[in-house]
Structure 1
Amino acid sequence: MNKVRVSELIEHFDLKLVSGEKGIEREIIVSDISRPGLEIAGYFTYYPRRRLQLLGRTELSFFNELSVDERYRRTSQICTSQTPCIVISRGIEVPQEFIISSNKRNVPILQSKMKTTRLSSMITNYLESRLAPMTAVHGVLVDVYGVGVLITGESGVGKSETALELVKRGHRLVADDSVEIRQEGESELVGNAPELIQHLLEIRGLGIINVMTLFGAGAVRNYKRVSLVIHLELWDQAKVYDRLGLDEEKIRLIDTEVPRLVLPVRPGRNLAVIIEVAAMNYRLKNMGYHAAQQFSDRLNDTLHER
């Protein structure tokens, strides 16, 4: 299970730690944020205690109208052993009752100068990205004409060499050897390189090269949406490969299906050019133009006329 520590949240958003310092290593395990307005009013039946609690001007204005006893009662119920942290927006002064309860339960209270809505959106996006389902795939991810192409295949089949040729032709490397893929949203897969091997490419016989150093910052990017998978395999004379492109194969990555092409490899085939054409053809299909289908339709019409 992916986790984000409160200390990471503090560092990323430059938040001010007001109280509950002993709990800054607490883990945030859900990306949803709670605005505990009903809880401050006294309704705790469905209190989502595992979520980050975000308080703005509306909630704190109502809180300040409560009696002292009610304030202590509400804060003691909001600050639980499972609550990761509480964030106060707009730089609003934190009520003393919250500080006492947070120190008692070791629930960090953080303060930000940002407006509540903007802060909520930014934290949600950050948590969704960090907590999204993730898998690691052995392959190479390249941005070809704006299409994220994941090149897979057995070791030594030529994935990295093909990626190098694509970079030389003006495309951008995202990751080599190991690609971390996260599912963001319902059907969007985003790939990136592990930090240790970012911008690096391994070429057998040559070694490890830094693509950004050799080709410039325009030859790399940190992440890219995975739109197409191209699998390289050694040419098998006994196997029948698709020659029309009517049958579209798909592969499931996490919970999302992605189009997959199988390219046979043998001497004389320019894989970089073929992958460029595959990326352009993918874009045309998304725009409604399917060359193979149009050819099939014309062929059927000709046979019907005869």
Structure 2
Amino acid sequence: MDNAQNEQLQQELFNDTPRWIPKSNVKSTQDSLAHHGIAFEIFDRGIVIIGKSGVGKSELGLELIDRGHRLICDDLVAGQLTDNQVILSAPQEFGRGFIEVRGIGFIDLARFYGSHTICTSKELFLVIQLVDN
């Protein structure tokens, strides 16, 4: 993806909800949005993973953490438009650093993996949608 395509995608997130994101999952204002999903810093890039409940977002998240990547937030991803970039973060301090895994519950990443596994914010680079077969 070149810079022009990246900028177009980021603008689309704020000007009109993308066709591939169910509108019922997005809450937005003029310069911010919140979406159901999980966000990571992967190789210094902000990546959001979306998909239906139970599709495996959190399980994939634990695999990414095991491979050295960092969690930005789980369940609700906040995005803020700043200088033509979307900055990903947790929508609130409460819950930051926790990931919920179906059948296990909430996992405190700092306690079990170390505080280095948590990232407070990152510029959006890519959105991935997981689907069932």
Among candidates 40, 47, 67, match of residue 142 of structure 1: 40
**Number of the residue aligned with 1:234:** 132
SS of corresponding position for 1:198? coil
**Number of the residue aligned with 1:200:** 98
The one-letter code matched in structure 2 to 1:157 is: V
The one-letter code matched in structure 2 to 1:190 is: I
The alpha carbon displacement at 1:212 in A equals 1.4
Describe the superposition over 1:256-291 as per-residue Cα deviations: whole angstroms up to 9, x where unpaired: xxxxxxxxxxxxxxxxxxxxxxxxxxxxxxxxxxxx
The alpha carbon displacement at 1:195 in A equals 1.3
**Number of the residue aligned with 2:87:** 190
TM-score, structure 2 normalization: 0.75
Describe the superposition over 1:162-210 as per-residue Cα deviations: whole angstroms up to 9, x where unpaired: 0111001100000000011100012x00011121110010001100011
The one-letter code matched in structure 2 to 1:145 is: F
Bigger radius of gyration, 1 or 2? 1
SS of corresponding position for 1:166? helix
Is there any run of 5+ residues in structure 1 with no aligned partner, and where?
1-131, 236-306
Please say if 1:169 is aligned against 2:67: yes
The one-letter code matched in structure 1 to 2:86 is: L
Is there any run of 5+ residues in structure 2 with no aligned partner, and where?
1-29
Identity %: 36
Please say if 1:151 is aligned against 2:49: yes
The one-letter code matched in structure 2 to 1:191 is: L
TM-score, structure 1 normalization: 0.33
Give the paired residue count.
Answer: 103
